[in-house]
Amino acid sequence: MYNYNYEKNYDKVVIIGLGQLGLPVAKYVKEHGFDTYGYDINQKAMQSAESKYGIKPATNFGDFDVLIICVSTHRPDDMFSPQVEGLMSVVEKISREAKTGALISIESTIPKGTSKRVFEKLDHRLHVVHAPHRWYALEEDIHGVNQLRIIGGVSSCCLQHGLNFYDGRLEDKAILPSSSSSSMVDHSLSVATTLEAKSKTKSSSSITTKLNKKRSLGIPMHPVSSVEVAELTKIIENAHRYLQISFAEELYLYCKGNGISFPELRESLNTKWNVEILEPRDGIGGHCLPKDTKMFINSSNTIKSKILQAAMEIDEDYREYIQSRDKNGNNGSLTLRGKSRGETEKETEQILCSRKIK
């Protein structure tokens, strides 16, 4: 079904979705010498990308070597709630138009299981990898497109193609298929050791690679053994950040309820080398953290994260306090599920010790 030519040229690339994530990716791809196109349901986004950055508009996906998906995965009416219907509609168009053997990279944040769902939708005709973005708009020079990233493939073949395109420095990497899933490991063996290892694993059809001298994006990639690990890595990164912020919010409320200076306490705590208490601001918002945290909570049919559900309630309490503070001045009232702390002194203590997880 596939052409196992791992040194294949990737010349023509289309970035699907030219928003906050996709446009920086398109610019980076073009800067690295690829024939770069952009596609977006918003015609103005394509026109702007062409006029400002020379990203040529694409009307169909029929002649591309690489298709990078950067579409939003939240509901149109609620950016805090995950939804992949828009992404799957793009995949439907790809399945009709893209050439067999092309590489699809999903950089959008997606729920566990989505990459294999895409692979099935494409009837196994294209190589599918998940290389979730870690782009941060406020520190693009440091945390931009080309920072260390995770990549996983639905098969070892897919992963190899993805590594060739993104990284290109494949002399130190080998893909070793296992009985249950493809497995990718780094090694720093000498050439002789590598060849010896290859001969020993010949019976299991191990695949080793040599230095890829073809054009690549030059992005350092950390390959993982399964595409599910790549999918979970992204959403858990943001769920962990959500926890950090919500703890800071709860600590702030604790200080307000007990007459303690939060700034002083935070500064004191952060003198310890392994402690970093964040600064709570206006509640946990943005396109990523709330959505991805919900995505992780919903990723399991058996175990639901109690600590994350509690963190979401903490953020709700904190938001209510901020709204009260803005309305009433610096002496805002603490609230719990809509009740004022002024109603009873006892409820001041309940904000930390009697919150129930829904």
Tokens (6 digits) for 274: 């392994």
Q: How far apart are CA 164 and CA 170, in angstroms?
A: 7
Running DSSP on this structure, what letter comes out for residue 352? H
Q: How far apart are CA 256 and CA 204, in angstroms?
A: 62
Tokens (6 digits) for 232: 């979970």
Q: What is the CA radius of gyration of the chain?
A: 24
Cβ-in-10-Å burial (0-12, 13-18, 19+) of 17 comes to buried
pLDDT of residue 28: 95
Q: How far apart are CA 230 and CA 187, in angstroms?
A: 20
Using a pLDDT cut of 70, give the percent of the chain over it.
Answer: 77
pLDDT of residue 137: 73
Which residue type does 310 have?
A: A
Round the average pLDDT of the chain to a whole number and report it: 82
- Could you tell me whether strands 173-177 and 182-186 are parallel, antiparallel, or unpaired per DSSP bridges? antiparallel
Length reported for the chain: 358
Q: Which helix (H) or strand (E) holds 208?
A: strand 207-208
Q: How confident is the model at residue 331 (pLDDT cuts 50, 70, 90)?
A: low
Which residue type does 79 have?
A: M
Q: How far apart are CA 144 and CA 198, in angstroms?
A: 36
Q: How confident is the model at residue 206 (pLDDT cuts 50, 70, 90)?
A: very low
**How does pLDDT run across 37-66, given as a tens digit for each residue?**
999 999 999 999 999 999 999 999 999 999
- Nearest Cα neighbor of 73 from 91, 61, 55 is 91
Is the pLDDT at 249 greater than 90? The verdict is yes
The domains found in the chain, sorted by start residue, are: 12-225 (3.40.50.720), 233-353 (1.10.1040.10)
Is the pLDDT at 9 greater than 90? The verdict is no
- Nearest Cα neighbor of 342 from 255, 251, 256 is 256
Q: How far apart are CA 314 and CA 246, in angstroms?
A: 6
Mean pLDDT within 103-114: 96
Mean pLDDT within 329-350: 49
Give the torsion sign (CA, 8, 175, 130, 234).
Answer: negative
Using alpha carbons only, what angle is made at residue 298 by residues 228 and 234, rounded to the nearest 5 degrees? 40
Q: How far apart are CA 90 and CA 328, in angstroms?
A: 48
Q: How confident is the model at residue 196 (pLDDT cuts 50, 70, 90)?
A: very low
- Nearest Cα neighbor of 252 from 242, 264, 240 is 264
Question: Which residue stretches of 54-155 are H helix?
Answer: 85-97, 114-121
Which residue type does 272 have?
A: K
**How does pLDDT run across 143-176, given as a tens digit for each residue?**
889 899 999 999 999 999 999 999 987 544 555 4
Cβ-in-10-Å burial (0-12, 13-18, 19+) of 13 comes to buried
How many angstroms separate the first and last alpha carbons of the chain? 49
Is the pLDDT at 194 greater than 70? The verdict is no
Residues 6 or more apart whose Cβ sits within 8 Å of residue 180: none
More confident residue, 74 or 206: 74
220 φ, ψ (degrees, to nearest 5): -65, 125
Least confident among 50-54, 182-186, 211-215: 182-186
More confident residue, 336 or 275: 275
- Nearest Cα neighbor of 233 from 295, 286, 277 is 295
Least confident among 112-116, 233-237, 326-330, 354-358: 354-358
Whether the Cβ atoms of residue 40 and residue 19 lie closer than 8 Å to each other = yes
Least confident among 132-136, 317-321, 337-341: 337-341
Q: How far apart are CA 217 and CA 230, in angstroms?
A: 19
